Structure 1
Amino acid sequence: MKPFRLAALSLALLTAFSLTGCDDSGAPQATAPAPAADSNPGATAKPDRAQLAALAEKSQGKALTLLDASEVQLDGAATLVLTFSVPLQPDQDFSRSVHLVDKKSGKVDGAWELAPNLKELRLRHLEPKRELIVSVDPTLTALNKATLDKPFEKTLTTRDIAPSVGFASRGSLLPGNVVAGLPVMALNVDNVDVNFFRIKPESLSAFVSQWEYRNSLSNWESDELLKMADLVYTGRFDLNPARNTREKLLLPLNDIKPLQQPGVYVAVMNPAGHYSYSNAATLFTLSDIGVSAHRYHNRLDVFTQSLENGAAQSGIDVQLLNAKGQTLAEAKSDSQGHVTLQTDKEAALLLARKEGQTTLLDLKLPALDLAEFSIAGAPGFSKQFFMFGPRDLYRPGETVILNALLRDSDGKPLAEQPVKLEVVQPDGQVIRSVMSKPVNGLYQFTYPLDSGAATGMWHIRASTGDNQPREWDFHVEDFMPERMALNLTPQAEPVAPDADVTFGVSGAYLYGAPASGNQLQGKLFLRPLRDAVAALPGFQFGDIAEENLSRSLDEVQLTLDEKGHGEVTTSSQWQDSHSPLQVVLQASLLESGGASGDPYRTAADLARRGAAGDPPAIYAEGRLRLPHRYHREAAGGR
């Protein structure tokens, strides 16, 4: 039997009866995933006047030339990109100066769009395998008022594009209650036929051992593999992607009843009306069981949780299998969703099952496969200049600190050399330029910001002599640590030991609006008040031997009214005390987003209604038991 080769993903299986059926009417319409950014790819933020002025000054005196005209793939579409030497004037009609003609059909439809760097003109959705002529007139104007010396013309042939369709992933986990659809990639294919198979529970181990991490299924392979699955649904889906654009779409599964049951499925897809030796295929599952495994020297820690709400799942039966499907270890998850299994070199597959659902994890694959993720790191150069600082957020008037190391492509130190550093404001203007020399291999640079420094994103640009761009970014913001004010007001007069204590609360934003509906969180504390009478310095009041006078009381949760006001009241928990006390309220006012400001603290004094020169009144009202010598000294006028 072949070893396991399956993508490291979680799959679920419901051990229920199998359904069969066929449906070729009312083809569901595939949908595009919700866009993460502006739905119009051509929309770009227009630079403001200050940015345009800075770019114009920077390019002043430079000639306008066309550096390159070529076809590139942009957002899945074939795009003609014209690259210029200096930024172009954005407020001009590019169709009057730039022309694109098809030798067979004439003028090409479409609009030129200017890239955010103002140096590229783009025209999207080129037709495949066409001979085009692009021409640029001298009337095209740069931001620095420069124009082309002579007209430009170039003939180019666009690439041929073959229609294609396939699944966007080698395996997908679709939580049953939040499933959006099965992702596919399509290029100039309007309709597809998809067969859905549910793997038989008793054949799961054998099927997985032969699946081998594939993204397609040939005819002869299907004869063997699909014997271990039941055909539950066949349907046609309308894709209709944008012409000549490779798009990611979702096959809707929510309304297909045979696919509502949790389980492990195989989907086999082919363009409608087209049959080939090999067809796109993928493994996917409908499940609410999520599994993560942490491998150690001789054990495997497994954590199970719900994919819908993230809660730990207890009672999950977790099995460890070898490549032949034999059980090596087995246990159930505890109340925290945790399982510990003893592992060995033969461990190949982990299964987690409960109430008909099965999650599987292939242990033979790397812990995380980054091949299907878009990963962009720092560009690699022969000279690596690593810039770092203690922080990247400063206020006007503070000093920016930058450190740097110069290394080769392997991270080894290079011979010391001076490096040019430029401080660039948010508007693109260079306000300082220095040559930095290292000390023991470490470059250090400080720049004091003016008190009126512009806010925004600043840059420190480094040049090591190889004409490669290097920048370190930092923010300059005129921020305030606190944005809210909180006032806690205790009662004006001391209260008796058996009386309730009340604090007034008032909250507001620093710009004047009341903190209406904001949350107050805090805590009450009880503390002894030995210096109860300010007019008698040096006197200590109360029973010195009395214990448990310093303790925590109640938690405080309060919602302020529409005027930003509220009251915190606590009943007496100290009526049997024989010493003067104070109740302390320490509280924070939360912003609307939940962030809290610095805690505020105030206190209410208890048992201090008597006048400073009238000890009997203090004793009676506050139930104080003063030592005899204190009575005598106070009675003697002290």
Structure 2
Amino acid sequence: DFRPRGASLLTAESQGQFAFLDLREAAIDLSDYPVTGLSDKVLKPFIYAPRDLYRPGEVLDLSILLRNRDGLPEDVKHLNLRLIRPDVKLLLEKNLVARDAGLGYFSYRFNIPVTAPTGLWRAEVRIGAKDKSPAQVFSFNIEEFMPERMKLVLNADKKLLGRNDRQVIAVQGDYLYGAPAAGNKLKASRLMELDRHPVKAYKDYYFGNPEDEKRLERKELDEIKLDEKGGGFLDIEPVAASIASALKLTVTASLSEAGGRVVTRSIDGTYWPAKSMLGIAPSFKDDVVESDSEAQFSIVRVNAEGELLAGENVSATLIKEDYDYFWEYNEEEGWVRKETRNEYPLTQQKFTIAAGEKTNLVFPVAHGRYRLEVEDGATGLKSVYA
């Protein structure tokens, strides 16, 4: 009790203002109020999505930022995501891999089933898969709300984009009763996804470099207003020249009506960094070959239509990857296991590929992890299998 002995009132006076506190009354009991605040956590994920109301059959894009006590990114490579239905049953559990570990950024795209039950859903994120309680929860509703009153049509001038090509999409919006959606606002974004198997005829072949995953981004486009005929164009800048892999490009556009409701449509495109790319297919299964044996690969050089092309000055390099693991202690996390990676190029083969043909390569391997890089001298592009 901090009351001065014998005192009845505590007064304060300043610039003509006066206040007092009666010390004879009982102190306020705070036991019934949640005054503890948020619990202190070493790491905390923050989840966000474009909205929190969806219909069955739509797509939920979740983004997660992982931060420490100081609000700074943490280099954590994995998070555990669980989707809980309204009846508290587990629908999905996924171990997410960081899109950009240095920024602490994770993302996940969930295609909501058309048979999904309506009600309040939960996306729970845990730092470790064995954690009993989630570190953060994002709640969203799935409801069968009112039908659309507008239609939105997207048409692309090119389905296949090359380096330095701009992606131009024609937009047409109309009300279902016939009038054009003149003056209505349209928002759009473009999502880029790495496509390691872009040629259907060679679906077992790996194209491009998985390291390009770190360079991909979701780009929000400038809002446009449709003209008096309900038309407009989305003019999107070329894919960055630093990306040397085939991509799947998804442009999602949302057209708003006066009442705030939106109609959303998507259109897909394909990006190839050159007119031809090299593909690698292992002759073994499950990425495993016996120690002290030979690893065999098939190499192709194809275009986007799947035609086998000739290639000169092609080189293949086999690289051994050695990992060293160690434990490090810090006051915030305690003991943490970390790793260092060393790479050793072992052998290189130079070869040519005849038109309409595949080339087979054989490398002797021992115990450990390896990576094969195949480079096209004509384009400078690499394809990697690890």
Q: Which has the higher helix share?
A: 1
The structure whose Rg is larger is 1
Q: TM-score, length-normalised on structure 1?
A: 0.23
